[in-house]
Amino acid sequence: MAKQAKRPVKITETILRDAHQSLIATRMSTEEMLPVIEKMDKVGYHSVECWGGATFDASLRFLKEDPWDRLRKIRAGFKNTKLQMLFRGQNILGYRHYADDVVEYFVQKSIANGIDIIRIFDALNDMRNLESTVKATNKENGHAQIAICYTLGDAYTIDYYVKLAKDIESLGASSICIKDMAGLLVPYQATELVTALKKAVKIPINLHTHYTSGVASMTYMKAVEAGCDIIDTAMSPFALGTSQPATEVMVETFKGTPYDTGYDQKLLAEIADYFRPIKDKALEKGLLNPKVMGVDIKTLLYQVPGGMLSNLVSQLKEQKAEDKYYEVLEEVPRVRKDFGEPPLVTPSSQIVGTQAVLNVLTGERYKMVTKESRALLSGEYGRTAKPFNKEVQKKVIGDKKPITCRPADLLEPELKKIEAEIAEWKEQDEDVLSYALFPQVAMEYFKYRQAQKTGVDVTEGDSENKAYPV
């Protein structure tokens, strides 16, 4: 038997972003991250995902930290490792579409402050919503990785994914990520999907999944054997459950094979030792709900991603309706079908999830509707893979004519107006972007920041009590 050529698998470490977002609602502080960075920098990771997603909002809202300052500090610590962020296309890191000038400026500042790889996705896999981000990333000489949101449903065939991959390559992306946010990709389907994509495109393939349904490590193994170039993992204290497979386990799995990473297990053990007390502290504080640590095979039925699961739990807790958890889980796929079967990922996961909660708690479907549900059914988020349920659409938006163009084409440039609004609070260029994404939360943070310097409290209200989508 011919000896296989070496093809070491590359690893993107998620502990500084997705792992703690999925398990402890994005509450790891910069102070907790910095002491271990020097060790992490020696591992040889392909990249470390440390920014974007919900970290931006959580830093400002709950940790009273400047996310830009966090990025600069992390960048200063990682001398040899590429830094990666998650970027929601035209939604940037927020929950609505922003004008192209805001998207371009955000990309520019992210790269200027230390980001190398921007993983860009659209919740509906509508490529039109990614054009501006990819162009801006390439212009700044960053690495634009486009993520395909992986999901199940009638529309989502191998041909659908192959066509998307070809579109992604022609859009100018440097790599493709299969973003399996709910742990729905099972091992042999991974073989089939990765094999088809490797045949269709020349750019590298990255696989990102969550352990929620219990199959993720096996899925990685089959994907790597089929030609997958990069996998996302998390250091063991923040691995498994609704997070990623454990870094050390995958390193050991491929040891002595053509896919051997060559990483040092002793070094990884030291890094794991550092993060263990942080996890214990999160458990003591009640930030880590044991519910999200187990295997929930129902994920394959409900297709609910990790961050969404923990968010549903907290929404029901607030309403003192935790007993409705499984009822809501059963309502989620019904709402999703009505809404054109979108993949469930931010912000579509929040829109579908919150609507499912309302449908169950009010006892009547679509009696109460969020403004986001209305916007989605009006076409404001883009094109879904399947058409909307016409009756539900009519009930929710009435006779309003849905839009069919790229949603951002209808948006006027916003930057100048935002600049003017926060002129008196601005201490750095990046403040304009923080305010653009989260006006109320950023303003509270700016007031808090000023109070820290002057000793005069100008904050109003407590943002800890405001609703926060994970």
CA angle 5–11–16, rounded 5-degree value = 175
| CATH number, domain 304-404 | 1.10.472.90
Q: Assess if CATH 3.20.20.70 describes domain 10-290.
A: yes
Instruction: Say what the pLDDT of residue 464 is.
Output: 43
Q: Which amino acid is at 242?
A: T
Helix %, strand %, coil % for the chain, to 5?
Answer: 50, 10, 40
**Token duo for residue 136:** 């801006």
Mean pLDDT by runs of 10 across the 470 residues of the chain is: 85 98 95 98 98 96 98 98 97 92 98 98 96 98 98 94 98 98 95 98 98 95 98 98 96 98 98 98 92 81 70 87 92 95 88 95 96 95 95 96 96 97 97 98 97 78 40
Provide the 8-state DSSP code for 426: -
Domain locations in the chain as residue ranges: 10-290, 304-404
User: What span, in angstroms and rounded, lies between the C-alpha atoms of 75 and 23?
Assistant: 24
The SS3 of residue 86 is strand
Region at 177 (left for phi over 0; alpha for psi -120 to 50; beta for the rest): beta
The answer to whether 219 and 161 have CB atoms below 8 angstroms apart is no
Kindly provide the b/e burial profile for residues 22-38, where b requires at least 16 CB atoms within 10 angstroms of the residue's own CB. bbbbbbbbbebbeebbe
For residue 116, how many other CB atoms are within 10 A of its CB?
18
Q: What is the pLDDT of residue 359?
A: 97
Q: How far apart are CA 69 and CA 169, in angstroms?
A: 33
pLDDT value for 312: 84
> What pLDDT, on a 0 to 100 scale, did the predictor assign at position 164?
97
Within 8 A by CB and 6+ apart from 215, the residues are 183, 185, 186, 187
- Give the E-state strand segments of 68-129 in sequence order: 82-87, 117-120
Q: How far apart are CA 462 and CA 183, in angstroms?
A: 35
Residue 287 has what pLDDT? 93
Measured distance CA(427)–CA(422) in Å, rounded:
10
Task: Please answer whether residues 110 and 137 qualify as being in contact, where contact means their C-beta atoms are separated by less than 8 angstroms.
Answer: no
Q: Do the domains spanning 10-290 and 304-404 agree at the CATH topology level?
A: no
Q: What is the pLDDT of residue 458?
A: 66
The token pair at 83 is 């830094």
